[in-house]
Amino acid sequence: MLDIKNLKASVEGKDILKGLDLQVKAGEVHAIMGPNGSGKSTLSQVLAGRDTFQVDGGSVTWDGQDLLAMPIEERARAGLFLAFQYPVEIPGVSNAYFLKAAVNAVRKHRGLPEFDAMDFLTRVKAEMKAVGMKEEFLYRAVNEGFSGGEKKRNEVLQMALLEPRLAILDETDSGLDIDALKVVADGVNRLRSPERALIVITHYQRLLDYIVPDHVHVLSQGRIVRSGGRELALELEEKGYGWIGDAGEIHAAPPAAGGA
Amino acid sequence: MSAVDTWVSAFHARSAQQPGATLPWLADLRRQAIYRFADEGWPTRRHPRWQHTSLAFMDQQDFAANAVAPDAAAALARLRGDDAGHWLVFVGGRFNAELSDIGALPAGVQLTSLADALDQHPEAVQAAFGSATDGDSPAALNLALATDGAWLRLPLGVALEAPVHLVFITNATDASQHLRNLIVAEANSEATIVEHYLGEGEATTLTTAATRLQVDADARITHLKLQQEAEPAIHLASINATQARGAHFASHSLSFGARLARNDIHTRFDGEGCDTLLNGLYHLDGRRHVDHHTSINHAQPRGNSREFYRGLLDGNSRGVFTGRIIVAKDAQRSDAMQRCDNLLLSRAAEADARPELEIYADDVKCAHGATVGQMDEDSLFYLQTRGLDDAHARRLLTYAFAAEALDRIALLPLRKQARAALMARLPGGELLEELL
Ligand SMILES: Nc1ncnc2c1ncn2[C@@H]1O[C@H](COP(=O)(O)OP(=O)(O)O)[C@@H](O)[C@H]1O
Ligand SMILES: [Mg+2]
């Protein structure tokens, strides 16, 4: 579904992604972990199409197409969804309008009938209930004055409504209490299906207790320095990221559990 | 013959047919005004209040009536919908009784055309008419040439439930229209007055308009102006309010049409504890130019003023805002706040925002700020990642920027009219219709 090869990206002349490889197949859940500043958000923003980041090399193939050549909205319509680490506040635009415009833009592209006001409200209210958002959030401006947790719920709500084929969650769990975390995990798990894939970017293994990944990758200094199964996340939880060298290289292997 | 002389001859040709022509005070006033205009001519950049908007070109400008008149009845029907309210319609600068529907009024309220008011209660009109020295030379021209307008007098303590709508539509015979609206709100009265300026066609027409509002103690007056003239039109207008103790005045100036529009909006606190809101929104494209020159005179203590102007500037357009705030020496505990924010939708558009603060009192709160910026890239990206294309995302953010100004219009039906007027201007506004 998604094939990233030797991806290099920079911002303002500063290299951030330095040759990143990742393959995601339908039905899989990948977790990407890594210290702050390792390039996790950069990767997700490049995949979504943010042009502040310059792609300097490598390729990203999405269902055989060159993802990097697609306009931002085409990626979204084709089923790519990014839950932002820092969702954007848009004063003056009601959440209801925003959600409906988004859902209908995507449905139109998929050859589905656009929702009318009633259908949309029924649908959105059901999803809001599932993510624990009060109805009043429909009538407030997009993310404006929302708490951190409310913004993250709003991201999960958008994901549920847009029914993406590949969802990237960029630290959707950060700053959430355990109840909110469960809501997020629940939203993600409801979306899981053999046709869909997920990339869960997280700082903590905690989320992965609820969203069990098939693969775990460690990103450091713009490269994936280690990949493994679920146990890698547990190991990271225990050891932290200290075992990754400053230059991003791995010092042999992580120290054995209980070792020095 | 210079163009100024053209206006002076037009004055002499028309003066006998002007409403109230037989009233000596009015004939005098009009003569003084036209002499002043002839003497001063059109303001140029050398004039301190016209530094960003020169009317020097008016000397060479020819004006012509449009070949075809807008369908006034249809335009009115679109605007009015099924609103009961009080509707006064003026076509080509003259009251049109057939299209108007003044409706039922509480006892003692006078709501008529200015021409009728000059017949019925000339003394009251004289007291409210203003003088030849008011404003700058275009205001003097207006005083000399004004053919009609609205007269509204609210007696003590009377509130008009429904807004008074004044609709000004151009016609196919007059190259210019000159309107004067006089509003006298006695103590504790309350009303909302809406001025709609509508025009269609390719001809360069001129509108001058003057609205004077006397807001007596504790009266509450909201004034909304929706300027939607035809693209080639020139629109020169002033709104002057005086507020007595505890009076509340709100002005919303929405400027969407005309090639050049100038609005002078002034209010003065003549008593303690007055309250004012000056809210404005303009949308410009092409080579169009709009200038709002505002002033709030805190002449008395404990006044509160809030001023918010927002501009959407596209193409090679230019938006000018001047916000003068005067706080007199004895006007202690005045509180003034002013903001002007402009969104540039193209690289060639230009915005000027000038606060002019003259504070002579020491116990004063006064804050002001101005911004000029482009569309927020983070917001654009966010919308696009949700499947909205670039054009839709830009329209939505443009609308969102304007919405803050629209949301200050308290009466919902008026806010909707203002929204519809804005949507009609934004390319692809129909996509945003559901926001209404
Ligand atoms: N817009 C930007 N301008 C300059 N530097 C940036 C920008 N975005 C990210 N960076 C830098 O790139 C590096 C990677 O950032 P990021 O991808 O946000 O890391 P992570 O999400 O893993 O914490 C950091 O050093 C960060 O400071
Ligand atoms: Mg990040």
Contact A162 B390 (CB under 8 A): no
pLDDT surpassing 60 at residue B207:
yes
Mean pLDDT, range B191-209, rounded to an integer: 96
- Which of A8, A10, A11 to mutate to test ligand 1, by most ligand atoms within 8 A of the CB atom? A11
Residue of A41, A72, A138 to mutate, interface with B, max B Cβ within 10 Å: A72
Q: Decide if A73 touches B, using CB distance below 8 A.
A: yes
Specify the pLDDT at position A176: 85
Task: Provide the residue ranges of all domains of chain B, joining segments of one domain with +.
Answer: 4-435
pLDDT, residue B199, reads 94
Tens-place pLDDT, residues A47-94: 999 999 999 999 999 999 999 999 999 999 999 999 999 999 999 899
Protein residues with C-beta less than 5 angstroms from the ion ligand 2: A 40-41, 85
Per-residue tokens: B199:
């025009």
Which chain B residues contact residue A93 at CB under 8 A?
Answer: 396-397, 399-400, 403
**pLDDT over 90, % of chain B:** 92
pLDDT of residue B2: 58
DSSP state of A130: H
Phi, psi of B183 (to 5 degrees): -130, 125
Q: Is it the case that residue B430 has pLDDT exceeding 70?
A: no
DSSP state of A87: P
Contacts of A117 in chain B (CB under 8 A): 434
pTM above 0.90, yes or no: no
With CA atoms as reference, the chain B residue closest to A77 would be B387
User: Residues B246, B220: contact at Cβ < 8 Å?
Assistant: no
DSSP letter assigned to residue A209: G
For chain A, residues with pLDDT lower than 70 are 243-260
Pocket lining: A44 vs ligand 1, CB cutoff 6 Å: no
How much is the pLDDT for B434? Answer: 63
Q: Is B91 helix (H, G, I), strand (E, B) or coil?
A: strand
Distance between CA atoms of B312 and B318, rounded to whole angstroms?
Answer: 10
Inter-helix orientation angle B24-40/B137-145, to 10°: 140
Instruction: Please report which residue ranges of B84-204 form alpha helices under DSSP H.
Output: 114-120, 122-128, 137-145
Of A72, A81, A101, which has the smallest distance from its Cβ to B381's Cβ? A72
What is the percent of chain B where pLDDT is above 70? 97
pLDDT at A205: 83
Judge whether A93 is closer than 8 Å to chain B, CB to CB.
yes
Short-list B179, B171, B170, B173, CA closest to B212: B179
CB spacing of B401 vs A100 below 8 angstroms: no
pLDDT digits (tens, 9 = 90+) for B82-96: 888 999 999 999 999
- What pLDDT is attached to residue B4? 85
Tokens coding A166: 């590949």
Q: In what order do the strands lie in the sheet with A54-62?
A: A14-24, A2-11, A54-62, A65-66
Extract the tokens encoding B288. 């169009």
Angle at the Cα of B4 from the Cα atoms of B53 and B69, rounded to 5 degrees: 80
CA distance A260 to A238: 13
- Which residue is closest to A164 within chain B, CA to CA? B386
Residue A256, burial from CB neighbour count under 10 angstroms (0-12, 13-18, 19+):
exposed
B399 vs A contacts (CB less than 8 Å): 92-93
In angstroms, the CA B277 to CA B338 distance is: 10
**pLDDT, tens digit (0-9, with 9 covering 90-100), for B239-281:** 999 999 999 999 999 999 999 999 999 999 999 999 999 999 9
Closest CA in chain A for residue B390: A73
Ligand 1 center from residue A129 Cα (angstroms): 34
The whole-number pLDDT of residue A254 equals 47
Rg of chain A's alpha carbons, rounded to an integer?
19
Residues of B in contact with A75 (CB under 8 A): 385
Q: Which pLDDT does position A68 carry in this prediction? A: 97
CB pairs under 8 A between A and B: 82
Tally helices (H) and strands (E) across chain B: 9, 19
What's the number of CA atoms in the CB half-sphere (13 Å) around residue A69? 7
Give pairs for A181-188: CB < 8 Å, separation 24+.
Answer: A181/A206, A181/A207, A181/A210, A182/A210, A183/A131, A183/A132, A183/A153, A183/A156, A184/A131, A184/A152, A184/A153, A184/A156, A185/A210, A185/A211, A186/A130, A186/A210, A187/A130, A187/A131, A187/A156, A187/A157, A187/A159, A187/A160, A188/A156, A188/A159
pLDDT of residue B69: 87
Contact A62, A26 (CB under 8 A): no
SS3 category, A136? helix
Contact A56, A9 (CB under 8 A): yes
A88 and B379: CB-CB below 8 Å?
A: yes
A76 interface with B at CB cutoff 8 Å:
yes
Ligand 2 centroid – CA B381 distance (Å): 17
Nearest CA to ligand 1 atom 6: A11
Q: Give the C-alpha separation, B380 to B396, whole Å.
A: 9
> Cβ contacts (< 8 Å) between B435 and chain A: which residues?
94, 97
Which of A91, A100, A162 lies nearest to residue B404, judging by beta carbons? A91
Q: Which two tokens stand for residue B359?
A: 């504070």
Say whether B386 and A117 touch across the interface (CB within 8 A): no
DSSP per residue, B244-290 = -TT-EEEEEEEE---SEEEEEEEEEE-STT-EEEEEEEEEE-TT-EE
Please name the residue whose Cα sits nearest to atom 2 of ligand 1. A11
Q: Is the pLDDT of residue B393 over 80?
A: yes
If interface means Cβ-Cβ distance under 8 Å, which residues of chain B face chain A?
Answer: 377-379, 381-390, 392, 396-397, 399-404, 434-435
Average pLDDT over residues B216-245: 98
Q: Is the CB of A220 under 6 A from ligand 1?
A: no
**Angle at Cα B201 formed by Cα B198 and Cα B204, nearest 5°?**
90
Point out the ligand 1 atom lying closest to the alpha carbon of residue A42. 17
List all residues of chain A from 109 to 148 with a beta carbon under 8 Å from chain B.
109, 117, 141
- For A220, the enclosing helix (H) or strand (E) is strand A215-220
A50 contacts B381? CB cut-off 8 A: yes
Question: What integer best gives the mean pLDDT of chain B?
Answer: 95
d(CA B131, CA A152) in angstroms, rounded, equals 61
Residue whose C-alpha is closest to residue B249's, from B281, B222, B271:
B222
pLDDT (average), residues B108-127: 98
Give the closest-approach CA distance of B373 to chain A in angstroms.
15
For residue A200, report the distance from its CA to the centre of ligand 2, in Å. Answer: 12
Q: How confident is the model at residue B394 (pLDDT cuts 50, 70, 90)?
A: very high
pLDDT at B433: 63
Nearest by Cα to B256 from B277, B225, B279, B278: B225
∠ CA A185-A187-A190, nearest 5°, is 105
Angle between helices B137-145 and B3-14 (to 10 degrees): 30
Residue B86 C-beta-side C-alpha neighbours within 13 Å: 24
| B384/A72 touch (CB, cutoff 8 Å), yes or no | yes
A148 touches ligand 1 (CB under 6 Å)? no
CA of A50 relative to ligand 1 center, distance in Å: 13
B385 interaction partners in chain A (CB closer than 8 Å): 48-49, 72-73, 75-76, 81-82, 84
Give the β-pairing of B206-215 and B176-185. parallel
What does the angle CA A94 – CA A97 – CA A100 come to, to the nearest 5 degrees?
A: 145
Q: Give CA–CA dist A36/A41, Å, rounded.
A: 10
